[in-house]
Amino acid sequence: MGIDQTALKSPPLGRSSLYLRFLSFRGRGRPIQVKGVRKEVKKVSQEKIIKKTKRRVIYSCLLAFVAFLRLLPRRAALSMMRGLGGAAFYLLKSKRLRTLKHLTAAFGHEKSPSDIRRIAKQVFSNFGAFAADAVLIPRLVGNGIHKMITAEGLEHLDNLSRSNEGAILLTAHFGNWELLAAWAAKQGYKLKVIVAPQTNPYINRLIADMRRAARYESIERGNHTREILRALAKGYSIGVLIDEDTKVDGVFVRFFNQWAHTPVGPVRLALKYGLKIIPLFIYLRSDDTYRVVVKAPLSLVVTGDKSRDLLVNAQECSDAYEAVIREHPGQWLWVMRRWKTQPKGETLEACLATIRN
């Protein structure tokens, strides 16, 4: 007589003792140590409680800090966060060394060690300022975000709006990309952005709420192709950042003369549905205002060789954001492990063959 497997899926609460005894028989009537199982279940439950408590504490602290920052005038908030960023350069040794290592790999042949160290300090200071403005987005939008942001190349976005056409908007972990999205939404451009979810669900919800308050929505990275297609069909553009080495489908392209594994989903989408890829970036100027630069749509290569087309057009995307990073090296997130994954064997040979061709 067999065991009903459905009975194993969800034991009734309050009958854990009977359930554990039921599990102790394995066909031949040999019991397992129920006491040990109870201890293991209790241990797992305690770990979950501790993990959830830690997340709530971190979230509460962050919420309090955000509330405090929003009480300050923008100039004071920028000054404080720049100071914290500067302190982080010295306190966070591993991130400091990684930033210096990556900057040296990219610019070591053209910049001195002192210049590279100066740029690294700028990175930490600038991202402190970017964090301050990201927290202040609700106020900045309410006070007239256009007063602190000027733009060039808007005709490329205006053309999309007039034709109610969706496109891929390509940017990077460069400048204040959260502010860029809020500005685009405030200008009336229909936008949704692809984002990586935070490991802390409470912080994830906080950030999602902030984005909705700024009139743009996010789509979590993963299997959400249908949601993206529905948005494109309604004339929404999809904002993407593909300058990060992540565990998604990708190809290897050259970035600062080194191989970099690059997500290829947006390029595949553009090639399949005939979408434009429009690069746009935002950078902070010396007077604490921002400049948005919208580039002309990339000239996508379509030869019929799908693998090669993906690689060539992904390289075009990489070249687009490398160019703006070269202009403002202190405003890209150099702490990322951009060159973590490297091609080997047949993959490397295929990459080299594409470059030769």
Quote the pLDDT of residue 2: 41
Residues 52 and 91 in one domain: no
pLDDT, greater one: 19 or 153: 153
Residue 241, helix vs strand vs coil: strand
Res 271 pLDDT > 70: yes
Residues 173 and 312 in one domain: yes
Residues 235 and 309 in one domain: yes
Q: Which residue has the tokens 């031949």?
A: 28
pLDDT in tens, 33-61: 555 666 666 666 778 888 889 999 999 99
Type of residue numbered 97? L
Residue 1 lies in a domain: no
Contact 203, 194 (CB under 8 A): no
Quote the pLDDT of residue 238: 97
pLDDT in tens, 15-37: 444 444 444 444 444 555 555 66
Residue 140 lies in a domain: no
Residues 61 and 80 in one domain: no
pLDDT, greater one: 83 or 43: 83
Quote the pLDDT of residue 82: 98
- Please state, rounded to an integer, the average pLDDT across all residues of the chain: 88
Quote the pLDDT of residue 356: 61
Least confident segment among 4-18, 31-45, 231-245: 4-18
CA dist 299 → 161, 271, 317 (Å): 20, 11, 10
Contact 330, 122 (CB under 8 A): yes
Quote the pLDDT of residue 36: 62
Q: Give the phi and the psi of residue 14 in degrees, each rounded to 5.
A: 90, -5
Least confident segment among 15-19, 80-84, 264-268, 303-307: 15-19
Residues 203 and 277 in one domain: yes
Give the angle 203-206-209 at the CA atoms, nearest 5°: 150
Residues 188 and 296 in one domain: yes
If one counts the domains in the chain, the total is: 3
Give pTM, 2 decimals: 0.84
Res 97 pLDDT > 60: yes
Give the structural domain span for 115.
72-135
What percent of the chain is predicted at pLDDT more than 70?
86
Quote the pLDDT of residue 34: 57
Residue 141 lies in a domain: no
CA dist 226 → 32, 197, 212, 231, 232 (Å): 47, 18, 21, 9, 10
Type of residue numbered 1? M
Domain end: 49, 67, 85, which one? 67
Residue 240 lies in a domain: yes
Residues 151 and 250 in one domain: yes
pLDDT in tens, 174-225: 999 999 999 999 999 999 999 988 888 998 888 988 888 888 888 988 768 8
Mean pLDDT value of segment 2-11: 43
